[in-house]
Chain A
């Protein structure tokens, strides 16, 4: 055992929740220490290179790395200490707080803290947890793992795949794989309604003519070494496969987006009560768990659909943990009410569309009047009307992707277009992006292609990944 440390608030997890909690706890006057098991801060956002983050908080459409790096900048500006590549092996309650045992490249350390924030995120439900049978070949991936392979490792995990589950990551991956040249045969959802946001159904599936099959599931996987196909079946109202509806599909991968499970192994070590419905700790309004002094936030508390809410929950947990450490915390006796998720997408009439401007995903009804004018209803803000009119006259989209780099330890760098481009130019612009190879250590916001294909949009780097201290 080597050196031991002390702090007021120990934050476990360096994703968006942990970063927000650390910043808030620091600003509330606490001495904060953050523990992150990976080499870099940012959590899952590092691989979420698509846009749509920060609309609520920053009123901007940021990509995941951009959103995370804004918080990392704030975190670093304050001089808060983060212990990277550090793993918690044990936590226990002591007379005056908590003792956490961690391992890193230097050895085993003990950290004493007065209060704790658990921001450990969530994990994906796996194939066996949704009862997928058949053989066990290579080529069955969760959507998050496939996303890591493409966006961080720069490797193509499939050429032709089926996606099971219409969760947001599955929808995002359908688009991402398509942009990278893979064929997505369809998204299959066991429930009668899609799970992901309506805007993602629109911009990830409909935009690319990827079919969505509701009340369908994958019943069997084929292939001895690499996956060679899957069996699809319709399901009844109890989500059980209907005999005789089986259909074989030739493909090389099955990508699963079948739900997220809060990771609460550390909470369980501390004996924290877990809510059976959210699978996160049972908390009061301040996000204090059943163990006084331990606060929970982010996706380990409840699986959120927007990162903006994750950050909010981190700030609340961080602030209250700081108060607890200072001895000024007055616990709420009201239970926490989970943040409601956005409504699932419903059926659409031919004159309807989903506004993709923000995560609300309003269902717009668009009618052309006899005089040629367009009336839009169903929008909850003026941007909806503008979106609908643009969709009918000159639809525009954003593109988020990666470019190759000359640095083997960072094979790809996330990029996006600085402003929306004409929808019909998506694949042409992708072509231009695919030609780029970054040979210099560029920064976030640096322009990699100026005015790509005369669209007026630049292709810009969305991460400081190549910066020496990143």
Chain B
């Protein structure tokens, strides 16, 4: 079908549903949908109608305005200085999530000046720190998409990457479980197709008996399951931070609290990038801006795809409930309600740290940074996951959080050079399985970017590149003899600050001394876990705040939870003493 015929058909469908409120226009390889509609759901419906069959090349751009609503601006850090002003770099990476940090680390293998900017107060504060941490086997994807290509490549790379970066990774396998025995032949056929056609070589079908023998806590009504042994689990924020640290170790400059505000372009190329910390002059820009990738594209007049945010909430249960699941599992419900429902209840798994995670659900939302949680998400998740493992119980929840996915309307990754901007490389539409895929696409992106710069000047390999990151020792996981050796070296390893997660003062100081740790409660928590346990920092937060103050040589009042605005204290009581 030609593009012209396709767009005519789309317009007819739009007219039928929305009258003449919406217009779809084909402009090169984009389908621009414009007009105005009364609800966000309508806008999504209209854009989804316009999606082309040629999803790899043709993208929907959403220009429909929501009636009576103002655009929601990106949150920008309050800091304003000229820390980066006038800086010339070979590569500017926008975004400190898993995509940006992994690309920066791979780019560091070449002799390049690299700057990574992240608008948040730490790495992995948006989608990369707010997901379930599954390393996917790629069983739900058929050949042809970028997702499918990179999920398989990325999955295979995980053992090596996590060993190099010293991040715990376990292949704990994934079960897709079915109660309807009559579906077994059809699911078996699908599994065979995935195995021999799509390259998902680890898939197998497991019968009821074996399923329940290996997983006695699972729903006894399960008839069979599709099993992938390559599925694994990693802490997504620990991996992102590890990539950032290794990048920094190898010469990449990292700048937190730095938002890209606008760009200057000339002759189809970016000439300057304006941030809240000054103007940067990069030869190449990598757009790994997550939910804001389309906005960044727009700054370079290269907005050929649109992101529509989709919230997902996960719950974390006390480590005590780890006995209910040692793998990744979910019931697959094949019925009318499940097939027509837009929300889903995710899965149930043991996390890298031995907690139980349930979720995520999936809810379309207009706001790109709506990280709030809602009680109905928890209900949806547990309604479903109690059918996977009946002992999964909301009463064991210690925390929950929401992340926002960054899908395009084509629901695939956009990993390519700009179409109207020569020196912009897009890494957009990165959603699940983005975490799994990142190690693989980071290699390709880095290679493409290095080659491009190589066209203007010789680019050699970085001879000093060290792929190994030294992690922070985890004392509570050590045998007593080893632990005693560490404490003999540094007595602070023997002072327990967080009783729930058994974290020592030595480990907290190690975090504060690590390559790119902001001196905040949350940053320390992400790196070495004080406050991650069942008391959620109730006991240890005063102690951690004191350690930070002492380490930084600042009054306790100045210690923050995360960003500069996330104040914990309004000053010392009674106006303070002589030392305040």
Q: List residues of chain A with CB under 8 Å of any chain B CB.
A: 1-2, 37, 85, 87, 89, 101, 103-108, 123-124, 126-129, 131, 133-139, 142, 144-145, 148-150, 152-159, 180, 220, 224-226, 252, 268, 402-406, 408, 411-412, 434, 437
Contacts and interface: CB of A to CB of B under 8 A. Distances in A.
Contacts of A145: 537-539, 541-542
B501 to A, nearest CB: 12
Contacts of B504: 103
B538 A142 contact: yes
A103 B577 contact: no
Contact of B401 (A131, A136, A155): A136
Nearest to A134: B372
B573 A156 contact: yes
27 contacts: A1-B480, A2-B484, A101-B480, A105-B495, A108-B480, A108-B481, A108-B484, A124-B538, A126-B398, A126-B535, A128-B398, A128-B399, A133-B372, A133-B374, A134-B373, A138-B562, A138-B568, A145-B538, A149-B542, A153-B545, A155-B556, A155-B572, A156-B569, A156-B573, A226-B567, A404-B572, A406-B577
A139 B570 CA distance: 11
Nearest to A101: B480
A95 to B, nearest CB: 20
Contact of A103 (B487, B570, B580): B487
A89 B476 contact: yes
Given A138-B561, A157-B569, A411-B577, 9 more contacts: A2-B484, A104-B495, A108-B481, A108-B484, A145-B541, A155-B557, A180-B574, A406-B578, A412-B577
B565 interface: yes
Contact of B566 (A126, A127, A225): A225
Contacts of A103: 475, 483, 487, 494, 496, 504
A101 B573 CA distance: 40
Counting from the closest, the 5 A-B pairs by CB-CB distance are: A404-B577, A225-B565, A138-B561, A87-B496, A105-B491
Q: Which one of A129, A225, A268, A404 has the greatest number of beta carbons of chain B within 10 Å?
A: A225
Q: Which one of A138, A145, A150 has the greatest number of beta carbons of chain B within 10 Å?
A: A138
B359 to A, nearest CB: 14
A140 to B, nearest CB: 9
Interface in B74-103: 75
Interface of B: 75, 320, 371-375, 378, 397-401, 475-476, 480-481, 483-484, 487-488, 491-492, 494-496, 499, 502, 504, 534-539, 541-542, 545-546, 556-557, 560-580
B371 A135 contact: yes
A137 B566 CA distance: 7
A1 B484 contact: yes
A107 B535 CA distance: 26
B546 A133 contact: no
Contacts of B494: 103-108
Contacts of B375: 131, 133
A157 B565 contact: no
Contacts of B397: 128-129
B311 to A, nearest CB: 13
A150 B569 CA distance: 10
A289 to B, nearest CB: 18
B372 A153 contact: no
A157 B375 CA distance: 27
B570 A1 contact: no
A156 B480 contact: no
Nearest to B320: A268
B476 to A, nearest CB: 7
Nearest to A152: B542
B499 A87 contact: yes
A133 B574 CA distance: 33
A157 B75 contact: no
A150 B75 CA distance: 32
A142 B535 CA distance: 10
B138 to A, nearest CB: 32
A150 B570 CA distance: 11
Q: Which one of B373, B541, B571 has the greatest number of beta carbons of chain A within 10 Å?
A: B373
A437 B538 CA distance: 29
A403 B476 CA distance: 39
Given A134-B373, A145-B541, A405 B398 contact: no
Given A106-B487, A126-B536, A144-B538, A157 B568 contact: yes
B546 A153 contact: yes
B578 A437 contact: yes
A405 B580 CA distance: 11
B538 A123 contact: yes
B579 A87 contact: no
Contact of B577 (A126, A134, A154): A154
A138 B566 contact: yes
Nearest to B576: A404
A90 B476 CA distance: 11
Contacts of B569: 149, 155-157
A126 B541 CA distance: 13
B546 A128 contact: no
A332 B97 CA distance: 61
A408 B553 CA distance: 12
Given A155-B572, A157-B569, A159-B570, A225 B534 contact: no
A87 B372 CA distance: 36
A135 B487 CA distance: 39
Contacts of B565: 224-226
Q: Which one of B476, B483, B545 has the greatest number of beta carbons of chain A within 10 Å?
A: B483
Contacts of A152: 542
A406 B579 contact: yes
Contacts of A1: 480-481, 484
Q: Which one of A136, A157, A158 has the greatest number of beta carbons of chain B within 10 Å?
A: A136
Contacts of B534: 123
A101 B502 CA distance: 13
A102 B379 CA distance: 41
A453 B22 CA distance: 77
B577 A156 contact: no
Given A129-B398, A137-B566, A153-B556, A105 B487 contact: yes
Contacts of B373: 133-134
A354 to B, nearest CB: 29
Contacts of A411: 572, 577, 579-580
A158 B291 CA distance: 34
A214 B372 CA distance: 27
Contacts of B556: 153, 155
B573 A106 contact: no
Contacts of B574: 154, 180, 402-404, 434
A43 to B, nearest CB: 11
A107 B482 CA distance: 10
A403 B574 CA distance: 8
Contacts of A37: 496, 499
Contacts of B537: 145
A174 to B, nearest CB: 16
Contacts of A157: 568-570
B401 to A, nearest CB: 7
A138 B567 contact: yes
A17 to B, nearest CB: 17
A131 B376 CA distance: 11
A64 to B, nearest CB: 16
A106 B580 CA distance: 33
A220 B562 CA distance: 21
Contacts of A154: 572-574, 576-577
B321 to A, nearest CB: 12
Contacts of B571: 155-156
A402 B573 contact: yes
B499 to A, nearest CB: 6
A225 B573 contact: no
B567 to A, nearest CB: 5
A120 B519 CA distance: 31
Contact of A107 (B320, B488, B567, B579): B488
A372 B461 CA distance: 99
Contacts of A85: 495
A225 B522 CA distance: 12
